[in-house]
Chains A and B, each alone.
Chain A
Amino acid sequence: DAGVIQSPRHEVTEMGQEVTLRCKPISGHNSLFWYRQTMMRGLELLIYFNNNVPIDDSGMPEDRFSAKMPNASFSTLKIQPSEPRDSAVYFCASSTSLATYEQYFGPGTRLTVT
Chain B
Amino acid sequence: DQQVKQNSPSLSVQEGRISILNCDYTNSMFDYFLWYKKYPAEGPTFLISISSIKDKNEDGRFTVFLNKSAKHLSLHIVPSQPGDSAVYFCAASGTDSSYKLIFGSGTRLLVRP
Contacts and interface: CB of A to CB of B under 8 A. Distances in A.
A43 B41 contact: no
Interface string A17-44: 0000000000000000100000000111
Interface in A30-88: 33, 42-45, 48, 55-56
Interface in B2-43: 32, 34, 36, 41-43
Interface residues of A, number: 21
A101 B106 contact: no
For chain B, the bracket of interface size reads 20 to 34
Contact of A101 (B49, B103, B105): B49
B103 A107 contact: no
Chain A interface, DSSP helix/strand/loop, else mixed: strand
26 contacts: A33-B101, A42-B104, A42-B105, A43-B44, A43-B103, A44-B103, A45-B101, A56-B98, A56-B100, A93-B43, A98-B98, A99-B99, A101-B32, A101-B49, A101-B93, A101-B99, A101-B101, A102-B34, A102-B49, A103-B101, A104-B46, A105-B36, A105-B45, A107-B41, A107-B43, A108-B42
